[in-house]
Amino acid sequence: MDAPLPLDARAELADLRRRAYGPDADIHADPAALARLRELEEKERVAAEATATAPASAAAAADDAGAAAADATAAPAAASTPASGAPASAASGTATMPASDPGIASGAWERAATGQKTPDDAPPAARSWWRRLPLWVLLVAAGLVGIAIGAGLPRLFTAPPAATLSPVDIDEVGGEFLGADGLEFFGLDEDSLVPYEEYGDSRPWAGVNSSGARCIFIAVNGQWMDGGCTPAGLPPTAEYVAYDEAAAVRSGLPIGSVVRYVQRQDGQIEVWEAPAAPSDS
């Protein structure tokens, strides 16, 4: 029987496992230490299996010894056979342990006759592949799965915009931008603004000022309602609050609702709505 690992070997194995599976794992850079870890783990596994099978082997040996004694006691009775003189085994057609060799246990005799293997002959069970992986590999895999889920869930549960508007030709709009008098304040002129498709009673306009900032303005029912510019790299945004039914941008939008216009990097303008709770009055 393989003896368990001595204390110094167990201490060495614990240290190697910390280097392999701990948070500061570095054993992958030390081939000698990695080989030593595998050697000690194999010795520990063999010793554990030998310890686990020893009680079962002792019990089987005790059962075999008891069966052998019972067979030896029954041997004289087997000698007094039927009248034909044939042994009981021959008459029944079954194989029995020879009475002349009481030293062989009945259990061992049956295993030898059938070719059945003893527990000591069985190969050691292979460990599952995931049990052989270092702990840090499993932690990294779990972290990547968490990142993927965290990045995907917002896309699944975020509602799409109410509309996406594209630029249109200035000739389709007719007239000029009504807020042209205030464009100079934003570093713009009328020629630098582009009209977009209408959304209800609103129409957004967008452009780039002399400083390179992107700007967006909103006209509702022909009146300039909101606008502004943002530094390059940030999406320009304009918001409008429906203060009465006539200025609700679109029919059915409750008073107090907010409509936000955001220009994307590709130039399209998204329209987002936050409807107010309907008034009871």
Q: Are residues 13 and 121 in the same domain?
A: yes
In 3D space, the residue among 277, 151, 261, 150 whose CA is nearest the CA of residue 214 turns out to be 261
**What residues form DSSP beta bridges with 263?**
269
Taking residues 179-186, report their average pLDDT. Answer: 74
Between CA 255 and CA 87 the distance in angstroms is 109
Structure confidence by residue, pLDDT tens digits, 109-143: 555 555 555 555 555 565 565 566 677 666 777 77
Q: Are residues 175 and 115 in the same domain?
A: no
Q: Are residues 197 and 262 in the same domain?
A: yes
Beta carbons within 8 Å of 5's beta carbon, 6+ residues apart: 13, 40, 43, 44, 47
Mean pLDDT of the chain: 73
Q: Are residues 104 and 175 in the same domain?
A: no
Residue 261 or residue 175, greater confidence: 261
Say if CB 258 and CB 233 are below 8 A apart: no
Query: In the predicted model, is pLDDT for residue 265 greater than 60?
Result: yes
Tell me whether residue 226 is exposed, middle or buried, using C-beta atoms within 10 angstroms of its C-beta: 0 to 12, 13 to 18, 19 or more. buried
Looking at residue 23, what is its pLDDT?
75
Residue 148, domain member (yes or no): no
Query: In the predicted model, is pLDDT for residue 101 greater than 70?
Result: no
Query: In the predicted model, is pLDDT for residue 91 greater than 50?
Result: no
Q: Are residues 248 and 198 in the same domain?
A: yes
- How many structural domains are present in the chain? 2
Q: Are residues 204 and 112 in the same domain?
A: no
Q: Are residues 119 and 219 in the same domain?
A: no
Structure confidence by residue, pLDDT tens digits, 161-172: 999 999 998 888
Q: Are residues 111 and 200 in the same domain?
A: no
Residue 243, domain member (yes or no): yes
In 3D space, the residue among 176, 200, 204 whose CA is nearest the CA of residue 190 turns out to be 176
Phi and psi at 163, nearest 5°, equal: -165, 160
User: Which of 62-71, 147-156, 181-190, 210-219 is the most confident on average?
Assistant: 210-219
Q: Are residues 115 and 202 in the same domain?
A: no
Phi and psi at 242, nearest 5°, equal: -75, 110
Beta strands in the chain (DSSP E): 163-165, 193-195, 202-208, 214-220, 223-230, 237-241, 258-263, 269-274
Looking at residue 260, what is its pLDDT?
92
Q: Are residues 193 and 115 in the same domain?
A: no
Structure confidence by residue, pLDDT tens digits, 35-61: 998 998 888 888 888 776 665 566 566
Between CA 226 and CA 273 the distance in angstroms is 16
What the block records as the tokens of 271 is 């329209």
Q: Are residues 13 and 115 in the same domain?
A: yes
Structure confidence by residue, pLDDT tens digits, 194-208: 999 999 888 899 989
Residue 131, domain member (yes or no): no
- Model confidence at 85, pLDDT cuts 50, 70, 90, reads very low
Looking at residue 197, what is its pLDDT?
94
Expressed as residue numbers, the domain containing 212 is: 163-274
Query: In the predicted model, is pLDDT for residue 90 greater than 50?
Result: no
Residue 141, domain member (yes or no): no
Tell me whether residue 258 is exposed, middle or buried, using C-beta atoms within 10 angstroms of its C-beta: 0 to 12, 13 to 18, 19 or more. middle
Q: Is the pTM of this model over 0.95?
A: no
Looking at residue 86, what is its pLDDT?
47
Residue 45, domain member (yes or no): yes
Residue 135, domain member (yes or no): no
Q: Are residues 70 and 167 in the same domain?
A: no
